[in-house]
Every structure is written in C-alpha cells, then in structure tokens.
Structure 1
Amino acid sequence: MRLAFMGTPDFAVPSLAELIASGHEIVAVYSQPPRPKGRGQKLTPSPVHAFAEAMGLPVFTPESMKAAEAIDIFKSLDLDAACVVAYGQILKPEVLEAPRLGCFNLHGSLLPRWRGAAPIQRAIMAGDRQTGAQIMRMSEGLDEGAIILSEVMDIHADDTAASLTERMAHLGAALWPRALAAIERGGFTETEQAGEATYAKKITPAEARIDWTRSAAEVDAHIRGLSPFPGAWFEVEADGEPVRIKGLMSALAEGDGTPGQVLDEALTVACGTGAVRLGRVQRPGKAAQSADEMLRGFPVPAGTILVGLQSEGSSFSTRRDPQV
C-alpha cells in the first residue's frame, strides 16, 4: 500500500519502523517542525523526523496541515491510506478524505475512555487497572472514530507514564500490519464507540502539584502518572527559599501522620490516609536521582511538613512539626 505516516514523538517511532518492515511503501512522513531544544536552543528534529531521515524517507514538516498548500501536497501523494500516531495537529476533512481508504490513528486508551492528549498519564493517575491500544478510523471529532482493532493491556502497580508508554508503543506498533491487511481486503468491522466518554486533557504544571491530603494510593498514582514528565512536584524550604522538587517514583509505605509530614529519614511522607515513599526525585537544574542520594546533600528531616492543597488558594510551604 502507498502510505503516509504522520507522527512526532518517540511513542510513534516503533509504528513507523513496523510499517517499513512490513513492506509498505512509505511515500511521505509528516512530523511537527523542528523546535529549539537544549541550552543552545538549537533547532532539533522530532524523533519521528530523525528516524525517517535515517531510513531515507521524505519528510514534510508543515507548521499547519490546515494551510491550503499543505493540503494540496497531501492530496497529490495518491495515497491508499495514512497512518497517524501522536502527530499533534488537527486534520481537516479534506485531509482525512484524501487517501483512497482513509486515515487511521493509533490511540493509547480503550475509547471512549481518555480521548485527547494525555491518555496514558490520565489512566495511571485515575488508578485504572487496564488500558489498551486501538487503531481507529479518523473522523472530525476528537478521537471519536470507529474502532478497527484493539489490544487490552494491564497497568502494573509500579508503572510510570514512561514504562507504560514504552510497552504501549510496541504493542500498538504490532497492530498496524494486521489492521492494514484487513483494511486493504475489506475484511474488517468498524465498531462504533459505546459508553460514556472521558477526556484526557493536557497536563498543566499547576495540576502536577502533589496534594498530600489525598489517599496514599491516589498520591502514588499521581506521581507515577506524571513520571518523568512533567513530574509531580512539591516544595521544601531551604535557606528561607522554597525549592521545587519533582517526585518521579513512589511506592505505598507504612505510616501515618499529618498530610505532608515526612515520617523518616528515607523520605516517607504521610498522606490523607497511609503514606508513600519517594524513591526517585529531581531538584531544579539537577539530574534525576534516588531519594537517598538527594538526602545526603539536601536533607529533608523527619518532622518536616509539606503543606499541600488543603484549601482553595493555599500554597506550598514547609515547617517543622514541633511535636516530632
């Protein structure tokens, strides 16, 4: 089949690799334009862009697929189908209807649950036990198209957004050859989505702040769902100034106390009910490290209280509990 592939992040690279290995003709790869990155703010191609160039594939990086010129170029490709994985742009009807068989998208949830930008993070943060990868026919609505192929996967108790994304990227990539073979021969059933839709909105930095008044299970899920990016965060006072620290890995732990209270010298923190132990953290301008390593150079003594979102409008601060 003559295909266009449209994707941008690391998550999409295994899908492109699978399509190449399957023998399809990839006549064009679309990705977001290179963006400034690093201290030097050097323009850097996306992971999909870089991989496609390494494979000798033509790459298109329009600022907007809504532009008439971009749409005309896409139409001129004479495509059988387009495969879309986390491309990052809305496609107009003219684009969706241009390939002979249509445009198809790999989505990282069991639709209609978690339509939108951050389905993997939201599933972990919500405490879901299962999720999945689905290939669907694209429509004008946000992730509202009919489902063609699905694969269910468990969310492990120690999964982070990074680990689940990695597993799902490869699981989803393996769906493409089966889905395209069925699409090409017309031997598939399109199943309309059923049930109540939920939406996986983009994570904001403010939302990533840890609320220690929630249960330990909820705090743990919040931390793991935001690891490594953008990173759930809390603040500790050092030299009279608040220092924002990201919690990148956690586990449920024994203990109780005032929500936000550090219970021991291993960065176990009390929650609304139960406690979590922070296993991996990151300070501003520093590389991620184990909590033990950070505490050797940046102590957070037992008894420190990390005050969370206990009331509307409250802000983070730290103090020592005089009774500890």
Structure 2
Amino acid sequence: MAVMNELRIVFMGSPEFALTPLKMLLAEGYAICGVYTQPDRPAGRGRELCPPPVKALALERGLAVYQPQSLKKPEEQAVLSGLKPDVIVVAAYGLILPQAVLDIPAYGVLNIHPSLLPRYRGATPVAATLLGGDEWAGVSLMKLEAGLDTGPVYSRAAIPVRPEDTTPLLADKLAFIGGCLLLELLSRIPSLPQPELQDNAKATYFGMVTKDMGQVNWQTPAAEIERRVRAFFPWPGVFTSYNQKTLKILEARPQKLGLGLQPSQVRVYEGDRIMVGSASGELEIIRLQLEGKAACSAADFLRGQRHFDGVNLGV
C-alpha cells in the first residue's frame, strides 16, 4: 500500500467498469472520503435487491457509501459538500450531476469516458465502438460539465479492437487505461493542464442499449450481425427464433463461402458447422443456446437437432 495521499477524493461509479479505477486509487493510497453509487436494484428471476459492484468493493474496503436516487436535491448536495472533496472522480456512475455538484470540488469533476471523444458520447460507448466496426477503441479523461459528455478533455489513449473483443473484455482494458490516465493527471494537482475543448461538429451519440436491439435482422450483412453478438454480450444478447423458441447466438463469425443462402436460411456445412444466410455472406454460428437448454457448440447442437438443415430462423 502506498503512503496515504492527502488529496480528498469522492469516487462515483456503479458497474464493473468502475472497479478498476477505484482499486487503482486505493492502491496508490489516495484518501477516498466517500463512494457514490447507484441504489440497489431488483435483479434475477427472484427480483431480489442487488447492490452495484462498486458498493460491494467499497464496503469491503471500509469506505463510506452513499446511494442517493438523485443529486438534484439541496440536502443531498449538502451531504456531498460536507465531505469536502478536492476532486470528484466519475466512472460510469449513471446519474446526472447538476451544476451545484460540479462546483463543489476545487479541482473539478474528472470523468473516465470509454470512447475517443467527441465520438460516442452517451451511455454505452463500448458497445457503440464494437457495433461501429471501429479499428480503434479508446478512453478520454475529461472535465465534467453540465452537457452530456461535452466537457473539455485532459487526455486520451487508444488501443486496437481485437476480433475476439466483447463489451466486457474491451471495457476491462479501457478501465485500466482510464485508471492510468487518471493517476497521471491526479499526480499533477495543483498544476493541472488546460483541457482541450471538444469539436462538437464531430460529435456522435449512442444511447442506452435496449432488449429489442438483440433481435437478429437477417436482412443485414453477416459482419454486422457478428458485431452485434460481441457488442450485446452478455446483455441483451443476440437472439432469433427456431421452432417457436428463442435461440441465442453466443459466438459467431462472418464468412464468404458463396453458398447462395437466402437471409435466415440454415445450411449444415461439413457435417458439424452451422451457416446462416444474410444480406451479405454467411454467418457461422459457433456457440448457441436454445430456450430451455444449456449453451453448447454448433456440433453438439446439431446432434440434438437432426432436421436443422434448410430451416429458416426467425419465422
């Protein structure tokens, strides 16, 4: 453990993405005077209240946890102000911060945003990066302002997108890089550099992912469907229907075999491979899960589905 740093930090984050930068701050000995995270939410089939991942880590490390429904109320702002933070660090918190909150810390509110801003402002930039077929993913460390991801940027870092990257895998890499950018900037306080204004003319936006986005449209190219499989893993997943049951596609690969398949038409290829026609090329389904069954490989699935060849999915 590093020697305790006297800089007082309030950390705001909720999902897995926020765990890495919080752990990095703690490892460097920074004084975390409070952790703000989303309220517990119902989850799973039993709809039992489930704490955000950041809450579990904060309690494990003995940190004070705050879970307001909103930070717009003066009484909640007073609580935050009473913690006397020098800086607030945000990593996928999930609540809008009003100007009164942004004005509290002397060195501002720093936000780790997993995209190369101004590209992919909004709630789900990692999924957007995969959906867009981008060659590069990245992180921007920005000074938060009242607009949605519009604040000036202190630093950026980029990494290549790998063919195997899913949203969780890519987010883990970007969380670590974002943590490194954060530590470098914090080490420069009180002499922070001037952040660079974003070019709003180049801004793009991607909002919340919804469950219906996971339904396959076989009239789109196989390469696009495959990107959705990686972007929407694990939720909402990518799915179609077969024999009036939901069929989840867990892993896939676009192919150009020239099989002449119509969109949604299945071909059992080389005895144990599943190819499905699309608007352009074939989608090879490598792992899948039929409703009520366990996830399995294409070969294992075909052993239980003798009449799969030639069917049309999603009808």
Q: TM-score, normalised by structure 2?
A: 0.91
Paired with 1:67 and 1:196, the residues of 2 have a C-alpha distance of 34
Paired with 1:125 and 1:56, the residues of 2 have a C-alpha distance of 39
What is the SS of the residue equivalent to 1:141? coil
Of residues 62, 70, 92 in structure 1, which corresponds to 2:68? 62
- Does residue 247 of structure 1 match 2:249? yes
Of residues 46, 50, 65 in structure 1, which corresponds to 2:52? 46
Paired with 2:258 and 2:143, the residues of 1 have a C-alpha distance of 49
Partner of 1:153: 159
Q: CA RMSD in A?
A: 1.7
The CA deviation string for residues 172-225 of structure 1, in whole angstroms up to 9 with x for no partner, is: 22221102123x132423011124211111112222211212222212112221
- Does residue 171 of structure 1 match 2:177? yes
Of residues 221, 227, 238 in structure 2, which corresponds to 1:221? 227
What is the SS of the residue equivalent to 1:178? helix
Paired with 2:207 and 2:289, the residues of 1 have a C-alpha distance of 25
What is the SS of the residue equivalent to 1:206? helix
Partner of 2:4: none
Of residues 168, 191, 208 in structure 1, which corresponds to 2:214? 208
The aligned amino acid for 1:63 is Q
Partner of 2:303: 296
Of residues 7, 16, 21 in structure 1, which corresponds to 2:13? 7
Greater shift in the superposed pair: 286-295 or 126-135: 286-295
Of residues 259, 280, 283 in structure 2, which corresponds to 1:276? 283
In structure 1, the gaps of 5 or more residues are: 307-315, 318-324
Q: Give the ranges of 4+ consecutive aligned residues of structure 1 lying more than 6 Å apart after TM superposition.
A: none
What is the SS of the residue equivalent to 1:43? strand
Paired with 2:15 and 2:302, the residues of 1 have a C-alpha distance of 34
Query: Shift of the alpha carbon at 1:55?
Result: 0.5
- Does residue 188 of structure 1 match 2:190? no
The aligned amino acid for 2:262 is T
What is the SS of the residue equivalent to 1:172? helix
Partner of 2:263: 259
Paired with 1:300 and 1:278, the residues of 2 have a C-alpha distance of 16
Partner of 1:144: 150
Of residues 82, 85, 88 in structure 2, which corresponds to 1:82? 88
The aligned amino acid for 1:156 is R
- The number of residue pairs the alignment matches comes to 303
Partner of 1:309: none
- Does residue 106 of structure 1 match 2:108? no
Paired with 1:207 and 1:3, the residues of 2 have a C-alpha distance of 37
Does structure 2 conserve the Cα–Cα contact (< 8 Å) formed by 1:34 and 1:44? yes
Partner of 1:23: 29
In structure 2, the gaps of 5 or more residues are: 1-6
What is the SS of the residue equivalent to 1:199? coil
Query: Shift of the alpha carbon at 1:29?
Result: 0.2
The aligned amino acid for 1:80 is D
Paired with 1:285 and 1:211, the residues of 2 have a C-alpha distance of 23
Structure 1 residues 274 and 38 mapped into 2: Cα distance closer, same or farther (>3 Å)? same
Does structure 1 conserve the Cα–Cα contact (< 8 Å) formed by 2:185 and 2:192? no
The aligned amino acid for 2:266 is V
